[in-house]
Each structure stands twice: as C-alpha cells, then as structure tokens.
C-alpha cells in the first residue's frame, strides 16, 4: 500500500512537532486458521505490518476489539480502540469457543492476544510487548439476531499510573 497525500503538509497545525510525510509505504500480511472439533472451535491468527515514513494518520492502529471493521485496525482485547499507533508490528490472536446449547446457540468465548509494536514518532522507537486476554458469551435472540457480549483485560495497559485496562464489547449480527 503506497500512498500520497496532496495538499497535506503536516499532521496538526503548521509548525507542529509531530513529524509528517506526504508520501508513505505500508505492507501488511495476515494468516489465520479455523479448526472445529465437535462443539469447540479454535481460531488462530498471526499478522504483521511494516511501514516507512508513517505518521499518526497513516499508522497501523492496534488495540480494542474491532476485528474485521477496518483493514488497518488490529484487535487487542483490553485496550482502547486504536490505542497504539504503530509503524511496524507483529500480532497473534487466539480464540477458543465452546457451544453450550443448540437451541439459542449459547457459546462461551476465550481470547488471548499478543503483539509487538514499534510506535510512530514522536514516541520513542522502542519495541513494546502488549498482552491482552478476554472472555465472551454469545447467543441467538429474537429474529435470529446473534449477540456477543465480551470483556477484555489489557495486562500491561497503563491506566492512571497503574497497570491493567478493561474493555467491554457488544456486537450484534444478523444473517440475511
């Protein structure tokens, strides 16, 4: 993905301390697998991205629970949505789901996430390890709408001077 911004000089006001580039390059790759075993399904995904001359607008956004919402937002349970702006990153997401009942498709989900992130400037260009875990419950309700309620804990998220972040998600899906 190579891009060019015409008529764009800086991220923020002119003279901003944040570096900005009008031309940048980005490459992203991801590989995932789904393995159903009776009523249990295992999902695994690894991915990564490399960038050159990325600023906060063009950076990869890592954090939150937005799987499949936008191509350059990467899921990490327990963190704010798009909490980390990365120029380079690697990620691993694991999910195990166990269906409990057939009638309302009640299913328990367990999540585990790990990422290494190299932030965009002006942050220090050091690689950071971030870890997240989570759990969820999904079910089919009226009019065949699937609901997923999930909780995530960011193990090394920094909040108010201490560590640990919380995330609650609600997703609805209707098959037509």
pLDDT at 175: 83
CA angle (99, 79, 66) in 5-degree steps: 55
| Residues 114 and 131 sit within 8 Å (Cβ to Cβ) | yes
In whole angstroms, what is the distance from residue 4 CA to residue 60 CA?
16
- The confidence score (pLDDT) of residue 59 equals 84
24 strand-pairing partners? 3
User: Helix, strand or coil for residue 143?
Assistant: helix
Could you give the 3-state DSSP secondary structure of residue 38? coil
Give the global pTM. Answer: 0.78
Cα–Cα distance measured from residue 35 to residue 50, given in angstroms and rounded to the nearest whole number: 28
- Please tell me what DSSP assigns to residue 142: G
* Count of beta carbons in the 10 Å neighbourhood of residue 26: 19
**pLDDT tens readout for residues 111-167:** 999 999 998 877 788 899 999 999 999 999 988 899 999 999 999 888 877 778 888
What was the pLDDT predicted at 14?
Answer: 45
């Amino acid at each position: 993905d190579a891009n060019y911004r015409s008529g764009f000089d800086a991220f923020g006001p002119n003279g901003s301390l944040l570096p900005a580039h009008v031309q940048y390059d980005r490459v992203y790759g991801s590989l995932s697998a789904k393995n159903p075993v009776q009523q249990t399904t295992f999902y695994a995904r690894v991915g990564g991205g490399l960038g050159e001359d990325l600023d906060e607008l063009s950076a990869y956004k890592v954090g939150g629970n937005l799987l499949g919402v936008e191509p350059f937002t990467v899921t990490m349970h327990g963190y704010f949505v798009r909490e980390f702006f990365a120029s380079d990153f690697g990620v691993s997401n694991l999910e195990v789901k166990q269906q409990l009942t057939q009638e309302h498709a009640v299913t328990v989900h367990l999540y585990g996430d790990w990422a290494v992130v190299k932030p965009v400037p002006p942050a220090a260009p050091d690689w950071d390890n971030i870890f997240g875990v989570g759990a969820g419950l999904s079910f089919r309700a009226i009019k065949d709408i699937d609901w997923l309620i999930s909780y995530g804990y960011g193990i090394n998220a920094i909040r108010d001077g201490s560590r640990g972040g919380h995330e609650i998600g609600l997703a609805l899906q209707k098959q037509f």
